[in-house]
Structure 1
């Protein structure tokens, strides 16, 4: 996914925003969502066009993946944190809030596979926690987790009706997120934010836009570190 393709992605996201939840545009919106979402995750298909995650992960060294802090114009966080956080947010919102299902983190055994004690969304972590996550997060398991989250999201959204996309998040499911400790106790504002959203709103942010923004930040980190001379 090159710069021109990212510009097209942004334009298509604007179009998706105008279509989601409209009964007369439902089929078109679902197809566009699936296409937009596909660009954000590793393709794992030989000979296909490189997605945004492909561009970041291809040739990415583990040292660059874990580097923290990295001072860019948008963030100090590591690529490890950005890719993990984006997937955690999508896992929580798509599975618990929209479909009422178990998180992929738990159903797929990734709470152990990812090799980190953190099971929340990543919001509100202090510097020592981000440093810990960046140093221990499984370099091998994270792409598998992200792909599992992506596949579940696509199946969920493809099965929603236009009416269901207009449905607001229920208080019961927000409470489930709290009970599962998927959001830190200090970050309950996030539940309030999600509680004001419809399913369509969650599809737009975080399932597409939020992930895209964190891929942008990951790319900035990669570009900056690759420009620096290797440490002896």
Structure 2
């Protein structure tokens, strides 16, 4: 799938996601576009995905040290987008436990943080990236993607319009998934204005694409 086609699917999804008679069609599109912003091993599709292009030929040094124009590494981009998908889909949409906590992924990945990483500056991103286990971060992301698809399978049309109460939003802060500091806590207000369809559109799909593009820029920067 080319990026233009992916964007066209996004536009189509946005126009039908709240229509009861288009629910199954909406889900089909969600699975299609969501699979493309994860590794093909997540969904098992026989197609090179946008994320596959990040991992192809990626070495440890580039993963940790190569940065894009925002000072973000591949390690950071994969971490940040995975944590946000995990947090929003499991706490807000499904009201269940984060994949991150269930699988003891902090220890397995070797991360010094549990939150989204929004508060990290350029130097902090590089320090964070030093200790990350590349393969375990990839494995975590695969589990996050699979859980998201399971959650979406069980949604109905009325779910798509459901918004989130303050208890769920507060739980994100209580679990330390988002830090209660200015650089991060704006996410709580941002997500609080959305319903489930809005979370699927952003961050579960489009936000991943934003950071895939950033990761690809970081990966290429050492070759310039």
TM score, norm. by length of structure 1: 0.91
> Which residue in the other structure is 2:9 paired with?
12
Q: Structure 2: how far apart are the matches of 1:143 and 1:189?
A: 27
Deviation, 1:55, is 1.1
Q: Structure 2 matches for 1:1-232, cutoff 5 A?
A: 5-44=2-41, 48-68=46-66, 70-72=67-69, 75-186=70-181, 187-225=184-222, 227-228=223-224
Q: Structure 1: how far apart are the matches of 2:45 and 2:175?
A: 40
DSSP-derived class of the 1:217 partner: helix
Q: Structure 2: how far apart are the matches of 1:118 and 1:126?
A: 14
Q: How many residues align?
A: 221
Structure 2 gap ranges (5+): none
- What whole-Å deviation, never above 9, does each CA across 1:147-170 have from its counterpart, x for those lacking one? 000000000011101100100112
Deviation, 1:48, is 2.1
Q: Structure 2: how far apart are the matches of 1:121 and 1:224?
A: 24
CA 1:149 to 1:71, structure 2 compared with 1: closer, same or farther past 3 Å?
A: closer
Q: Structure 2: how far apart are the matches of 1:35 and 1:59?
A: 25
Q: Structure 1: how far apart are the matches of 2:151 and 2:165?
A: 17
Q: Structure 2: how far apart are the matches of 1:172 and 1:47?
A: 37
Deviation, 1:129, is 2.3
CA-based RMSD of the aligned residues comes to: 1.5
Q: Structure 1: how far apart are the matches of 2:68 and 2:126?
A: 14
Deviation, 1:47, is 8.9
Structure 1 gap ranges (5+): none
Q: Structure 1: how far apart are the matches of 2:59 and 2:109?
A: 18
TM score, norm. by length of structure 2: 0.94
Deviation, 1:220, is 1.2
Q: Structure 2: how far apart are the matches of 1:101 and 1:129?
A: 30
